[in-house]
Amino acid sequence: MNESYFKKYADRINKVKAELIQELEKSKGKIRSSDTVHQQLPLH
């Protein structure tokens, strides 16, 4: 495989990773701001 293929793949992975991190931060903020989340989550 050539290097440009790897570069293209790495760029795509980094983009997806950045989006995932943004989503995580958003959901973390939601959990922090909501006191009722622990009641909505299943115990098991």
Type of residue at 40: Q
Residue 29 is predicted with a pLDDT of: 78
When computed from its CA atoms, the radius of gyration of the chain, rounded to whole angstroms, is 17
* pLDDT, tens digit, 9 for 90 and up, residues 3-43: 898 999 999 999 999 999 999 988 887 766 655 555 666 66
pLDDT value, residue 15: 96
Measure CA 2 to chain center.
29
Hey, how many other C-beta atoms are within 10 angstroms of the C-beta on 17?
10
Whole-model pTM: value is: 0.52
Residue in 16, 21, 22, 20 with CA at minimum distance from that of residue 8: 16
